[in-house]
Structure 1
């Protein structure tokens, strides 16, 4: 198509009425100190597993597993009432057998104060036309 006939759609990079005022502190500091320790321990554990798989099965096997993980992490439902479950990704990574906080403290999406995401706004965020907060229905 000609560039003259195309409609340029640009999302706003900041919308304080919709998303609140952006703070720099939230970009630098994590909400809880244990999150950084958990994240680094998990990264070390994954690196160790990749090294073991490389030594056992060869270099192609961890690359194939990473490709499968990327494919399974991209599969998701459109934003709206039904959240994406990522069962294939959970089965592959082994987190399906895990017992997370949502198993005994309830899922935050099941609370009465949770509002489902507007489908149109969710698609705008996914396509990069608008900026928005992370939403559990498509992450």
Structure 2
């Protein structure tokens, strides 16, 4: 085998560093190597209030906790956080619908009727699973 001819072929070829770039030789994105691009992640919110509305519940809880801290002291928000954590851990079996009434009571949304109260009825769900399979999945047996 002629090693000089092989060396000249390697010198004229494309370096490996250029192959690993996001765009191929023709300026088109290499989807096989980089995956599909998400246009949604590149978009900015269409309105200034959109970001505020997405984070409304989180911001509302922060304001409530800071108000409670200013009025009652440091122990009150810590106690509420512990209660939230304890209430979130208590759930029914995975195949039974849960109303989360204790969490709604702690948040103060038990007296409000919202979008999720009417259109999030689990009995109207199209998806019903096998109880045994769902329990095995939750326990990590599958």
- Bin the TM-score by the shorter chain: 0.5 to 0.7
Could you say which structure has the higher helix fraction? Answer: 2
For 1:47, what is the secondary structure of its paired residue?
Answer: helix
Q: Output one character per residue of 1:21-52: Cα deviation in whole Å (capped at 9) or x when no partner.
A: xx884x958xx978754332222221111111
CA RMSD of the aligned region, Å? 3.3
TM-score, length basis structure 1:
0.58
Tell me how far 1:95 sits from its aligned partner.
Answer: 1.5
Matched, 1:122 2:137: no
Displacement of 1:60 = 0.6
Q: How many residues are matched?
A: 103
Instruction: Tell me the TM-score normalized by structure 2.
Output: 0.57
Between the aligned partners of 1:71 and 1:122, the Cα distance in structure 2 is 23
Q: Which stretches in structure 1 are left out of the alignment for 5+ residues?
A: 1-22, 131-139
Return 5+ residue gaps in structure 2 as ranges: 1-35
Q: 1:93 aligns with which of 92, 103, 107?
A: 107
Distance 1:36 1:125 in 2: 35
Name the SS for the 2:55 alignment partner.
helix
- Bigger relative contact order, structure 1 or 2 (CA pairs below 8 A, ≥6 apart): 1
Task: Tell me if 1:84 matches 2:98.
Answer: yes
Inter-partner Cα distance in structure 2 for 1:76 and 1:88: 10
Bigger radius of gyration among the two = 2
SS of residue in 1 equivalent to 2:98: coil
